Amino acid sequence: MSTDELAQELSADEQRAIQELADYVAQQLAEGRSQAEVTNELVENGWEQADAAEFVVQVDGALQQAVHQAKGSQYVKHIWIGALWAIGGTAVTVATYSAASDGGGYVIAWGAIIFGVIESLYGIFGWLTNR
């Protein structure tokens, strides 16, 4: 029986109870408890060993996937922030250079451009290694 079929057969209260238990198991794993420790706790509360172990493994897999996705979106944020800094620095440089075409000084926004490029590269390399 697939997970979707099983979910259709469960009442809303049963689904909520399973979700609350999965959240508890995920919290315990995130706090550093091992799969074996969490499995043993479930067994002490009446679960069969094999069922408890499978449940903990599935919750841990979902937790690891969520962490992986969160890191990936964090790296994408670095890419965009860096790009905005680099584009902004370039825009300031171009605008002030154009305004100074008759003579006068202009600003080369090196700091913003370099920061933006480094920030974007950090995001790109992080994203590529996190895939």
| Chain segment 18-70, per-residue pLDDT in tens | 888 888 888 888 888 888 888 888 889 888 888 888 888 888 888 888 877 77
- Tally of CA atoms within 13 A in the half-sphere of 48 that contains its CB: 3
**Contacts with 112 (C-beta within 8 Å, 6 or more apart), sequence order:** 85, 86, 88, 89, 92
User: For residues 80 and 126, is the Cβ–Cβ distance under 8 A?
Assistant: no
Output the average pLDDT for the chain. Answer: 86
Structural domain boundaries in the chain: 3-130
Backbone angles phi, psi at 32, to 5 degrees: 105, 0
| Chain segment 103-128, per-residue pLDDT in tens | 889 999 999 999 999 999 999 999 88
DSSP output for 22-67: HHHHHHHHHTT--HHHHHHHHHHTT--HHHHHHHHHHHHHHHHHHH
Nearest 10 degrees: CA dihedral of 44, 50, 53, 56? Answer: -90
The answer on pLDDT for 5 being more than 70 is no
pLDDT at 3 (0 to 100): 53
The answer on pLDDT for 4 being more than 70 is no
pLDDT category at 15 given cuts 50, 70, 90 is: confident
Model pTM above 0.85: no
